[in-house]
Structure 1
Amino acid sequence: MVKPTPNPPLFTVNPHQNTEALLVNASETLSSLNALTCNLAFDLDTSQRAIMLGIQQMAELGQLLVDRALEQVSPSPMA
């Protein structure tokens, strides 16, 4: 008898998904996070804006890393 996981995750990633699809989805998620944090930053006061822009920069760095990994996995024909 298989015991259920005591605290199953609310969200999961399909373990059979290929690397390119995972990277594309990660890139799109980071792009959305980048846009959300950038837009929100300008609704905040100066100190909170600086924090939000720091988060936005980390999202942008993650975006660059994922996009570079995606380029290595699936090079564009123009490269």
Structure 2
Amino acid sequence: MFKYTPNPPEAETDDSDPTSPYSTPDSRKLHEAAERALDHYLKPEAPKRRRSRPMFLIAPDMDQESLLAHACESMASANTLLNDFAALLEPPYRNTVLGIAQVVMLGELAVNRALDNIDPPNR
């Protein structure tokens, strides 16, 4: 049987290939260095994750009643601040701030209800 296409040339394993970009061993080193440089800038490694430490931390052994009482006081303070700020504003902006104050007040009422539902520990 006759083959119409010739066999492909055998691959040479050394650097004596006339079409090789590596005419000398130094050119291979230069090429590898260039690849490393390009990889450094074009394929950066994923950023290392830093262990974050919280600036403020609620004690893990804090009881529910204390947490809810603190939340209630914070929301009451925010409500007062918003109402005082609303008094300084013109009507279209005043209505927006009063709406925010109302949402804060509703949150305060919900926290107060949660406080009422907590069974006090037997002391």
Calculate the TM-score normalised by the size of structure 1. Answer: 0.81
The answer (yes or no) to whether the contact 1:20–1:74 under 8 Å persists in 2 is no
Shift in alpha-carbon separation, 1:47–1:9, aligned structure 2, 3 A: farther
Q: Give the drift of 1:31.
A: 0.4
Which residue does 2:79 correspond to in 1?
34
Aligned length: 71
RMSD of Structure 2 on Structure 1 (CA)? 1.5
Alignment partner of 1:64 out of 88, 109, 114 = 109
CA offset digits 1:6-65 (Å, max 9, x no partner)? xx4332222210000000000000000010000110101111101100010001000000
Identical amino acids, percent of aligned pairs: 37
Q: Give the drift of 1:4.
A: 2.1
Correspondence 1:1-40 to 2 at 5 A: 4-5=51-52, 8-40=53-85
Higher RCO (CA < 8 A, seq sep 6+)? 1
Q: Give the drift of 1:74.
A: 4.2
* Distance in 2 separating the partners of 1:23 and 1:71: 10
Match of 1:55, SS state, is helix
Which residue does 2:4 correspond to in 1?
none
Unaligned runs of 5+ in 2: 1-49
* Distance in 1 separating the partners of 2:112 and 2:87: 26
Greater Rg by CA: 2
1:53 and 2:98 matched: yes
